[in-house]
Each structure stands twice: as structure tokens, then as C-alpha cells.
């Protein structure tokens, strides 16, 4: 009686676990049970799909905090709970193989769902929702319009006769080749005779006073051959643009446009005063005061819908 009374609560708890372990040893099966296999396949797959849904859908775009809480964080709680259960069984010599395997599969489902959903969101759904929320403009004449009036543009349908001036393309190299070519409603080069060109200059400034609309792309042009194949520049029916929304590319396209304007308005001579530069410069310089960058396409609506179709295709 005295020895029994000397036992503490922890001793009785340990004895209970040891008794369960002894009983469980008679029930252990060296082969995987059907229920264990089901748990390792069904629940991790369900968790993968659940986390994937919250990581790439509209919730992620419009309310990322709710998406993070209901998706990956809730999945993390489930994985931590299952891991703690498996650890407890293993620590007390209880049959834990199935629970350890289930915990490992749940972790794989959580990480796979989060990574896959995040990649799908970044490559497709961000573009889809951004273009859906942006403003569309129709019948824009780049020879008259100014970029500052269309800073919120997402999709632009240009006036008939608008084209990409491939001969005036420019390339800026920084590991990747960033290509840009002006979108014009009239030729930028003086189409008159040699005498008029000598008197008036080689270029014709548009009525807007600026060249603000640009077709852009990466690794799709050749400076030496003046080849420009970005977007659908080779499609004669294309005369629309989808706004370039990658903020990490924007500085490089700006540098390309600055290089273009410097090339179109060169100065020479040793007189660096304002009068000297004005004398050395051509008669007319083409500025780009508020450049906007677009992917040249035939049908922006179809291109936007393709982002959604690809996202759903990757998800299922």
C-alpha cells in the first residue's frame, strides 16, 4: 500500500501508456493496412487542394490576409497537430508508423498546395485580375493622345491605321534584352524630298508633341537588323495593346526609351552651353514625356481570358 501511494500522477500516466503499448504490440501488422494507405492518400490530397484554392484564387488577390489565414495557416495547424500526435505515440512506444507517414504526407500536401497555388497566382491570376480591374480605352490615336491622359489604361484599342514603327525600335541589354518600338499613327520620319528633309529635319513630331505609346517585350528584337517581333507585331490585324504590368521590367523599358530619345536628338561639338547644344541638335527632337508600355496584340479580351483558362488548367 505504501509503494502504491508513493506513485505520482506522472508514474500512473507512464504506466497507462506502457499498458497500451503492450496491448498494441499484439495488434501490430507488419504490412500497411488499407486504412493507413487511405489516410496517407486522401487527407493530404484534400489538404493540397484546399491550400491551393486559397493560394491562387480571387481571395488571394482581393483579401490576402483572409486567404493566408484560411489557407496555408490553417493547413499549418493541421500539420502541426498531426505531427504532435505521431510524436506522442512514438515517444510512448505506441504503434506510430501510420501516423508518422500521414504527418509526412500532410506536410507534403501543405507545401505543394502553397507553392503550386502561389506560382499559378503569380503567373496567371495576378494578370487576369489586374486587367479585369483596369480601364479600357477605344479608338485612341497615338499621334494626338498623350500618355498622361491614359495612366490608368489596361487595355487600349488604337485607331485604325495605327502600327508599330519597327524601324525605330530600340534595345536595352541587361542580361535580358528589353525591346521597345513606338506605336505611331503617322510616320515619324520625314517622307518629303531631300531638300525638305534638309530644311525641316529628318523627323516629324506628332501633333501630341510626344511619343508616349510603346510596344515592348523581352528577347524579341535585334538592334543590328532592326527586327522586332515582340507580342503580335508581325500580325497585320493587330492594333491593340495590353498594358505592361511587371514593375520589375518598367525601369529597363524607361532606360530603353531614354536611349531612343537621345539617339533621335543627338548633340555634338565642344560647346556645352545651352546655345551650343541648341545649335548642334537637329531641327526637331522627339520627346517621350510620359511613356506607356504595351504588349501588342490583336484581341486583348482573348488574351486576358487566356490567363484565366491557363490558371484553371494548371489547377485541375
What element of type H or E holds 251? Answer: helix 250-264
Q: Which residues contact 300 (CB under 8 A, 6 or more apart)?
A: 131, 136, 155, 157, 240, 241, 242
> Which pLDDT score is estimated for 284?
58
> Which pLDDT score is estimated for 97?
85
> Which pLDDT score is estimated for 192?
57
Nearest to 166 by CA among 247, 89, 225: 225
Integer angstrom CA distances of residue 182 from 145, 224, 278, 310: 13, 17, 25, 30
> Which pLDDT score is estimated for 290?
93
CA distance 7 to 18: 15
What element of type H or E holds 22? Answer: helix 9-25
CA distance 213 to 165: 11
- β-strand partners of 296: 241
CA distance 313 to 242: 22
Residue ranges of the chain whose pLDDT lies below 50 = 1-4, 25-31, 200, 269, 271-272, 277, 280-283
Pair type for strands 163-164 and 176-184: antiparallel
Residue 249 in grid coordinates: 521590367
> Which pLDDT score is estimated for 178?
96
What letter does residue 300 receive in the DSSP assignment?
A: H
Q: For the chain, give percent helix, strand, coil, nearest 5.
A: 55, 15, 30
Helices 74-91 + 34-56 axis angle, to 10 = 150
- Please report where in the chains the cell 518629303 appears, as a residue: 192
Pair type for strands 135-140 and 153-158: parallel
Whole-model pTM: value is 0.74
Amino acid at each position: 500500500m505504501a509503494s502504491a501511494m508513493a506513485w505520482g500522477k506522472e508514474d500512473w500516466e507512464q504506466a497507462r501508456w506502457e499498458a497500451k503499448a503492450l496491448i498494441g504490440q499484439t495488434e501490430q501488422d507488419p504490412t500497411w493496412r488499407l486504412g493507413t494507405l487511405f489516410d496517407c492518400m486522401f487527407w493530404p490530397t484534400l489538404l493540397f487542394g484546399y491550400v491551393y484554392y486559397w493560394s491562387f484564387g480571387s481571395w488571394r488577390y482581393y483579401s490576402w490576409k483572409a486567404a493566408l489565414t484560411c489557407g496555408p495557416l490553417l493547413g499549418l495547424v493541421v500539420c502541426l497537430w498531426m505531427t504532435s500526435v505521431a510524436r506522442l505515440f512514438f515517444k510512448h512506444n505506441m504503434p506510430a508508423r501510420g501516423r508518422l507517414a500521414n504527418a509526412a504526407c500532410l506536410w507534403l500536401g501543405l507545401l505543394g498546395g502553397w507553392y503550386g497555388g502561389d506560382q499559378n497566382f503569380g503567373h496567371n491570376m495576378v494578370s487576369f485580375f489586374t486587367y479585369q480591374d483596369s480601364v479600357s480605352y477605344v479608338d485612341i490615336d497615338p499621334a494626338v493622345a498623350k500618355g498622361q491622359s491614359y495612366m490608368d489604361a489596361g487595355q487600349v484599342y488604337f485607331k485604325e491605321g495605327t502600327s508599330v514603327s519597327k524601324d525605330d525600335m530600340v534595345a536595352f541589354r541587361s542580361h535580358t534584352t528589353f525591346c521597345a518600338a513606338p506605336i505611331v499613327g503617322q510616320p515619324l520620319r520625314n517622307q518629303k524630298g531631300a531638300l525638305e528633309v534638309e530644311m525641316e529635319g529628318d523627323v516629324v513630331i506628332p501633333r501630341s508633341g510626344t511619343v508616349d505609346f510603346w510596344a515592348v517585350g523581352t528577347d524579341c528584337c535585334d538592334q543590328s537588323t532592326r527586327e522586332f517581333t515582340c507580342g503580335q507585331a508581325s500580325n497585320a490585324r493587330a492594333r491593340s495593346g495590353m498594358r505592361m504590368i511587371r514593375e520589375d521590367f518598367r525601369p529597363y523599358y524607361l532606360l530603353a526609351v531614354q536611349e531612343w530619345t537621345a539617339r533621335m536628338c543627338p548633340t555634338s561639338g565642344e560647346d556645352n552651353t545651352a546655345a551650343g547644344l541648341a545649335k548642334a541638335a537637329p531641327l526637331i527632337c522627339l520627346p517621350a514625356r510620359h511613356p506607356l508600355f504595351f504588349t501588342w496584340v490583336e484581341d486583348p479580351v482573348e488574351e486576358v481570358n487566356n490567363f484565366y483558362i491557363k490558371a484553371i488548367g494548371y489547377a485541375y
